[in-house]
Structure 1
Amino acid sequence: MDFAHSPRAREYIERVAAFVDTEIVPREHDYLRALRGRADRWAVPPLIEDLKAKAREQGLWNLFLPDERYGAGLSVTEYAPLAELMGRSPIAPEVFNCNAPDTGNAEVLLHYGSDEQRERWLEPLLEGRIRSAFCMTEPDVASSDATNMEATAVLDGDEVVLDGRKWWSTGIGHPDCRFVIFMGLTDPGADRHRRHSMVLVPVDTPGVRIERMLPVLGYLDEPYGHGEVSFTGVRLPRDAIIAGPGRGFEIAQGRLGPGRIHHCMRLIGMAERALEMACRRATARTAFGKPLANLGGNRERIARARIAIDQARLAVLHTAWLLDTAGPLGAFGGLSQVKASVPAMVQSVVDTAIQLHGGAGLSDDTPLAGFLAAARALRLADGPDEVHLGVVARLELGKYRERT
């Protein structure tokens, strides 16, 4: 593999880096003040729309899609460093219209949606006029094994009827969230990976109810949020099913592969910014007559953080290259490796940065506490560490099974 960035990627790297550094990061505090100074904390501050308009004018829009009809036409490997740059700020992904779960939902609609579904949902999503959510995880079963899913999507003539409860539905709190993708059990008697369907559900459909918004280590992550959503006798036309009944797992695997690596890319950006903040703090602050960098093993911690970030980046780039050259099956093991390793690495790096910042690192004066919550949550989201480690172990042990 050649780790050098393509000329096209280098151009985008320069442009995205400049936009993040000059337009987004300087306005983070304004954004937080506007968000938390409103009576409705789920309303989006106007500066987000201003930044989105600027990004779109500069052609920094829908960078995640390799299909040039809809996005920038970048490969996963070319997009990787751009997602890393976006990870430096909590608001950057939406500014470039590259925010999860919208990116994953867009990919589902692009690859599996009908022409009518694309026209109704994909086009406004890619224009940034609406947002979306993904409803898969359930509160009453161990959702690390998705075959446990109890929510149903039952066929009834020309309709599909949805019943069940989902939670950790990211994005459901956004005021512009207009639809969710719901995954439910359709045929309990079918093969275990042909039992489920994915259904497009407008959020204003009768029977859909947002029960509550769930905090992550005290953060509600407004204005996106993570909600618990109930579906009670929700009736939709049969053509709301994506790609037809029983294809839910197939779609999920196609969706989660790129989604997992996008998370890892953004996490590396978080780690880079955290380390940068740690180093600035360690060299600027003095205690007991010495810079913080020279106290308590901090030099070693900083060195280990640098090594860990660089190792993680190389692993992510390699997996991105595998996705581009060998597809999701060829990148299967690599995806599990980075998903299990990168969030844990970031959690450690951010913790070091918080320690060097003292009480300030626990406050909203820096993005570090939010980074820590995000990294910890992503050790569960899109599959917990244990599931991915199990995949890596199975593939590794499979090399040594006796052949008959």
Structure 2
Amino acid sequence: MSEVFHRIRRLPPYVFAHIDPLKAKARADGVDIIDLGMGNPDMPTPDHIVAKLQETVKDPRTHRYSTSRGIPGLRKAQASYYGRRFGVKLNPDTQVVATLGSKEGFANMASAITAPGDVVLVPNPTYPIHSFGFIMSGGVVRSMPADPNEDFMRSLDRAVRHSIPKPIALVLNYPANPTAYTADLDFYTEVVKYCRANDIFILSDLAYSEIYFDEDAPPPSVLQVPGAIDISVEFTSMSKTYSMPGWRVGFAVGNERLIAALARVKSYLDYGAFTPIQVAAVAALNGSDDVISEVRKVYKNRRDVLVDSFARSGWDIPVPKATMFAWAPIPAQFAHMGSLEFAKLLIQETGVGVAPGVGFGEYGDQYIRLAFVENEQRIRQAARNVKKLLGGKGGQGNVVPLTA
């Protein structure tokens, strides 16, 4: 009875479990940890959304079980959002399901469509649930490039031709977590054409659809491609767009067959989010887009401060076009350590918490993910702390213990 359960055996040790105790110990020792590790939005949920929750929760009728698919008003609001934002028409009754965050929706979709041994093509590096949702469901994951460049389609074709059995699904994630890569409609068009020809489902994670920094190039939806809805489901989240991470509201939209499969699995597992939360989410989706613009502005300012201040401290970080993350190569003098050991070093010697790239896949091990979840002053302080380790612009760097 002491053996590890089968599904648990298939999961590797959680990388961040090595980091969290170090941060906790440092805090206990009086160190001010500037935590850029977890993508946990720090901005408050807009007032009108909170007010709608408070208003609705006073009605005792809303205290009963809700519905796992999401209340009709919420599904209609999400369908309306897709119409306004992407020009995509959705039937809220058959093509929209509300989920307990996009992460839960993705995991349950994997459970709904995966048979033991099924092959799924997943970017590497990528958000962990994209891989482990299928691994926990008995599937086999084959890595794909994360960057939607000219090599992607060649890699896709090679993966399909050399996979036995043939892959059942391809995961896409743009704007991407952790890499912040973005994709355009031409890329989606090519991918949809290929997947339709080869009977491969597309599962698109669009959680960062509204966190972008080029106002002239908002991220598209794969469902904008003609015929994409025949094979595709897309997942979105209100966590970042409206600073509602703890509310756990997300959506899956698209192909009716896939949505029905997800809804059936969910019907056995949950009764949906608390009804007042869903009503408040309707108020968010049907309200002014000004709150989204404000969130976007805050993240853009933080991005600019982080890139500038870290560059002056000796760490050149590529400028992300979208998301709330920077995907930063480990500085050359520390590259031999790998991302986990370098992340530990940063906590111990600078008091700065980051996410090691290996936590998102083995091909991320030479990178660190930094989240824009501290204000500009704190980000500048993090850069000054890191400068002690790196030695400033062009320096070789010396390890200088951080004093509490």
Smaller-chain TM-score range?
under 0.3
Give the number of the structure with larger relative contact order, counting CA–CA contacts within 8 Å between residues 6 or more apart: 2
* Structure-1-length-normalised TM-score: 0.25
Structure with more helix by fraction: 1
* Structure-2-length-normalised TM-score: 0.25
